[in-house]
Amino acid sequence: QVHMAESGGGSVQPGGSLRLSCEHSGLSGGSYCMAWFRQAPGKEREGVAFITMYGISTNYADSVKGRFTISRDNDKKAFYLQMNNLKPEDTAMYYCAAYLQRRWGVCTADGDYNYWGQGTQVTVSS
């Protein structure tokens, strides 16, 4: 009975910040790739930020590198996306996702993410 739920979305002006949270009850242990994806109307879903099992390493889409930070807290069964210096092109529905990382290595957008949240809306506009 895995359940993932995002929170923390909202409307901000360009240059503002938001912190998204994802609770992932039902996932035991820390050996999961966890990630944030986003999708804007009329655009394909894209991977934004990724963190490996136990938070060993992270990687980001070029469009958010230097502005977004992903982190995780396995004891609290949650992970986060700190978004700074937000831009209008960041406007999208943001989804958290996870899968069991069976091989050691980096986590990327092409992973077999089989656990998903319902999404939280982020809107950046003047």
Which residue intervals of the chain are DSSP H helices? none
How does the average pLDDT of the chain come out, rounded?
A: 94
Residues 36-78 have pLDDT tens digits of 999 999 999 999 999 998 889 999 999 999 999 999 988 888 9
Identify which of 13-17, 103-107, 108-112 has the greatest average pLDDT: 13-17
Question: What is the C-alpha separation between 38 and 22, in angstroms, rounded?
Answer: 14
Question: What is the C-alpha separation between 35 and 108, in angstroms, rounded?
Answer: 8
User: Average pLDDT for residues 13-31, to the nearest whole number?
Assistant: 92
- pLDDT reading at 29 higher than 90: no
Quick one: pLDDT at residue 26?
A: 85
